[in-house]
Amino acid sequence: MKDRLKLNCDMGESFGAWTMGLDAEVMPYIDCANVACGFHASDPDTMRRTVALAVRHGVTVGAHPAYPDLVGFGRRAMAVSAAEVENLTLYQLGALEAICRAEGTQVSYVKPHGALYHAMMGSEEILAAIMRAVVAFDATLPIMVMATRDPAPTQALAERHGVQLWFEAFADRAYDSAGRLVARSQPGAVHHDRNTIVDQATRLARGETLTAADGSALALAADTLCVHGDNAESVAAVKAIRSALDAVENA
C-alpha cells in the first residue's frame, strides 16, 4: 500500500428498494471497496451483489462496519461501550466474510464507517476495541485510520495490539491544522470543484503539502485516498482522480 496511493470508496450502501451510490459506475476506477455490513446500510442481497461486482473488476474488498443505526446512516454518535464496539465489529466482519467466501474472495481490510470512524479517532478506548475485534477475527487485516499531522500515538497503539494500519486521506474534504477533517457543518468543509479535488489528490500522491483551513502547510503521509461516487459529478471526479494518480505513478 505504501508504494502507491490506492483509491478506496464506500460501496454497497443501498438498502432493499432504496438505491444509494453509483457502485457499478465507480467500481472500475477504484482499488478498494469498503462494503457496508448491514448496520448503517446494506442487506444480504446488496452485500452479495457488491462483492460480486468487486470480484468482477479485481477490486479488493474491505469491511465497513458501523454503529447499528440504519435510520441515521451510521452518522450519529451512540452511547456504546468499548465491549459492544468490539462485538458489533466482530459480528459485521463475520457477516461480510461469509458473503465473500460465497463469491470466492475474502475480507482484506477494515474501515469503520461514519460516527464509529470519528469515535475511534477521538478515543483510544474505542480504537483499541476495534483492534481487538480485528485481531480476534484475523490479525493480518489492516485497519484504515485517518492520516493526521501526528500519527505516532495511533501507530503506537497499533503496535501494542499487533495490527497494521493504512493511513487514509480525503480528496474532497478540507483539513484543520491538526490534520483532522473540518466538520461538515462548517463552510468550505467539502470540496465540490473537480479541479480542487483532483489537485488535492495529486498533491497527496506526490507527498506534497496541503493548505489547512487556517492557511498553514499540512503534510499527510497517506496509504489510501477516499473518494465518493454518489452522484454523476462525483463519478466524473473519481475518473479524473484515477487518471491523475496513474499519471503520477507513471511519471
Residue 192 pLDDT > 90, yes or no? no
Q: Within 10 A of 60 (CB to CB), how many other CB atoms are there?
A: 18
Higher pLDDT, 251 or 104: 104
Q: What is the rounded end-to-end Cα distance, in angstroms, of the chain?
A: 18
Q: State pTM to two decimals.
A: 0.94
Q: In the sheet where 60-64 sits, what is the strand order?
A: 60-64, 32-36, 6-11, 224-227, 165-170, 143-146
The Cα 98–Cα 81 span in angstroms is: 26
- pLDDT tens, position by position, 109-163: 999 999 999 999 999 999 999 999 999 999 999 999 999 999 999 999 999 999 9
List Cα–Cα distances, 199 to 152, 206, 215, in angstroms.
27, 11, 17
List Cα–Cα distances, 178 to 21, 78, 138, 197, in angstroms.
30, 25, 32, 20
Please report the domains of the chain, with CATH numbers, ordered by start residue: 6-250 (3.20.20.370)
The Cα 200–Cα 169 span in angstroms is: 10
Nearest to 152 by CA among 179, 182, 177: 179
